[in-house]
Amino acid sequence: MTPCRRFGARSVRALPFFCWVVPSKAADNGYSPLGTVDHEDHDEKLAELASIIDAAEEGDAPWKEVWASIKSIGEAFRVVRYPTKQAKDEAWARYRAMVDAVVEQRDRANERSEEIVSEIQLHLDRVCTSKSSMFGAIVDGVVDGLAGVDEEQSLNEWRDELLEASDEMRAAQELYSTSKGEIVGKHRHDIGPAIHRTKESLDYEWETYRKARRDLWRERLDERIAKKREYLGHLWERLETRRAHMDRLEGMHADAKSDEFESKVEEWMDEERERIEEIESRITEVEGEIGELESERDTIE
C-alpha cells in the first residue's frame, strides 16, 4: 500500500520542529502531551513505530496509522524526559531517520502514482481522439440518413474508430485495475471519475452508432420491401393480362367452327395456363419474401 500524504505537498523534513509537536486534543498511542513522558515508554513507542512502518510496507497496516504514530511521537518529544541530552538526541535522530524514510517512500510512491495516472490519462485522451472525428462529422446526419453521405462507408469508418477507442478504454481500465494499489488517494479521486466519464461517453457513442446502423438497415429493408411490392404489382398486372387472354381463348374455343381450329385453340389454352401458373407461383414467392423482410424489419429495435 501507498503512504497517505498527511502533511500536504511539504515533506516532514522541511517542517520546523514546532510544527511537529502541536499538542493533539486527545491522547493517542498512550501519550499525554500535556504531562511528562518516561523515556523508556517513549523508546517503546519508537520501536512500535518501526514495526508499524514495516507492517505498512507489507500492506498489513494502513499508512494513516504510521502518520498518526509519527505525529503522536513528535508531540511527545516536547515533554519526554531522558537521562541525558545525548540520549534524547539519539532518540530524536532515530525518529527523524524513520520519518525521513517514510517521507522518501511517500515521495517515491507519489512519483510512481503520477506515472501510472499519466499513462491512464494518455489512454483516455486516445479514446477521445479516436472516437471524436466520425462522431462529430456525422452524428447530426444520423437522423437524416447521414446527410446524404455514403452511409455504409461512413458507418464502417465510424465503427473502426470506435473499436480503436474501445481498445484504449480497455487498456486504461486494466491499468487502473492492476495498479490501483499504487495510486495514491488524491490521484485516485481524480482518475477514477475520469475513467467513468470517458466510459459513459464511449458507451453513448456506441449506442448512437448502433442506432444509426439499425436505422440504416431498417431504411434498406424498407427500400427492398418497396421494390418487391412494385414488382408484385407488375406480376398482378401480368396475371390479369394472361387471365383476360385466357378468357378470350375460351371464347374462341367455344365458337370454333372446326375440329382443327378447336384443337389449335386448346394448345394455346394449355400454354396460357402454364404461364398463368408460373405467374401465380411467382406471386406467392414474392409475397413470402415481402413477409420475411417485414418480419426482419419489425425485429429491429
Q: What is the pLDDT of residues 232-256, one digit of tens each?
A: 999 999 999 999 999 999 999 888 8
Instruction: Please state, as a whole number, how many other Cβ atoms lie within 10 Å of the Cβ of residue 51.
Output: 11
228 falls in which pLDDT band (50, 70, 90)?
very high
- Based on the fold, state whether residues 178 and 224 are members of the same structural domain: yes
Number of domains in the chain: 2
Instruction: Spell out the alpha helix ranges (H) of the chain.
Output: 17-20, 39-57, 63-76, 85-138, 151-179, 185-254, 259-299
- Mean pLDDT estimate for the chain: 82
| CA distances to 2, 50, 72, 112, 182 from 55, in Å | 12, 9, 18, 20, 16
Residue with cell 480503436: 164
- Within-domain flag for 100: no
Among 59, 81, 103, the domain boundary falls at 81
Q: Which domain holds residue 46?
A: 12-81
The letter for the amino acid at 239 is: L
For the chain, state the CA radius of gyration: 42
- Within-domain flag for 102: no
- Within-domain flag for 99: no
Rounded CA gap, 108 and 102, in Å?
Answer: 10
H or E element, residue 80: strand 80-81
**Which pLDDT score, from 0 to 100, does residue 32 have?**
42
Residues near 165 by beta carbon (within 8 Å), at least 6 away in sequence: 126, 127, 128, 130, 131, 202, 205
- Based on the fold, state whether residues 138 and 280 are members of the same structural domain: yes
Among 39, 63, 81, the domain boundary falls at 81
**Which residue has better confidence, 4 or 271?**
271
Residues near 29 by beta carbon (within 8 Å), at least 6 away in sequence: 45, 48, 68, 69, 72, 73
**Which pLDDT score, from 0 to 100, does residue 150 have?**
74
Angle, in degrees to the nearest 10, between helices 39-57 and 63-76? 160
Rounded CA gap, 212 and 2, in Å?
Answer: 46
- Based on the fold, state whether residues 74 and 120 are members of the same structural domain: no
Q: What is the per-residue pLDDT across 81-101, written as a single tens digit (0 to 9) for each?
A: 888 989 888 999 999 999 999
Q: Following CA atoms 264, 267, 272, 277 in sequence, which dihedral angle do they give, to the nearest 10 degrees?
A: 160
**Which residue has better confidence, 148 or 26?**
148
- Based on the fold, state whether residues 269 and 153 are members of the same structural domain: yes
C-alpha cell at 15: 517542517
* Cα angle 235, 239, 244; round to 5: 150
Q: How many CA atoms lie within 13 A of 271 on its CB side?
A: 8
134 falls in which pLDDT band (50, 70, 90)?
low
- Within-domain flag for 195: yes
222 falls in which pLDDT band (50, 70, 90)?
very high
Q: What is the per-residue pLDDT across 169-178, written as a single tens digit (0 to 9) for each?
A: 999 999 999 9
The letter for the amino acid at 1 is: M
- Within-domain flag for 93: no
Instruction: Please state, as a whole number, how many other Cβ atoms lie within 10 Å of the Cβ of residue 135.
Output: 20
Q: How many CA atoms lie within 13 A of 152 on its CB side?
A: 4
- Within-domain flag for 5: no
Among 33, 61, 81, the domain boundary falls at 81
pLDDT at 269 over 60: yes
pLDDT at 141 over 50: no
